[in-house]
Amino acid sequence: MVCGPSGVGKSTVLSALRRARPDLWFSVSVTTRPPRPGERDGAEYHFVDQRTYDRMVKGGELLEHATYAGHGYGTPREPVEERLAAGIDVLLEIELQGARQVRRAPGLGAEAVLVFLAPPSRAELVRRLTGRGTEDDPALAARLAAADAELAAEGEFDCTVVNTTVADAVDALVTLMAA
């Protein structure tokens, strides 16, 4: 499982990792946030309304779930459990709240390897977030506040990969998976 602050490059790194390790199964999360330009339902996320998300949480359909920057995010339970039962390696991109839930989950928590994807520096993280231009000022402030909390939680993870370059981060992840 890979976790890291918004703007650290999780999506970019994991997209490159998909090309390097096509044998991995990548879980597609649900979210209540609207799609960004170029995002497609079912590819980057399953985009759902708040009512559907609440039903999924209440029904235990999500392996983990979190509210981040005012939007719900979660990992559909059934496809993950199916792949794991079939012996297929699974990779999740999750938020800090979700990582904590997975860590506490009976069975899965003990087996999961939680990787923290870190920026080279907080200043670089701010540059990346503002450079995206995808959030208004209040949303950006919320993401930066959440990023500070996530950076402070780095020690809760099994290992850290610093995203200095996408290629180096992918190489480090591939090495970790081979160990």
Q: Highest mean pLDDT: which of 74-83, 97-106, 122-131?
A: 74-83
Q: Mean pLDDT over residues 101-110, rounded?
A: 79
The reported pLDDT for the residue numbered 130 is 82
93, 14 Cβ separation under 8 angstroms: yes
Q: Go through the chain and tell me how many residues it has.
A: 179
Q: Mean pLDDT over residues 27-45, rounded?
A: 93
SS3 17: helix
Q: With cut-offs at 50, 70 and 90, classify the pLDDT of residue 109.
A: low
Q: 10: which 2 tokens?
A: 């999780």
More confident residue, 146 or 48: 48
The reported pLDDT for the residue numbered 41 is 96
Q: Mean pLDDT over residues 126-150, rounded?
A: 83
75, 98 Cβ separation under 8 angstroms: yes
The reported pLDDT for the residue numbered 156 is 94
CATH topology of domain 2-178: Rossmann fold (3.40.50)
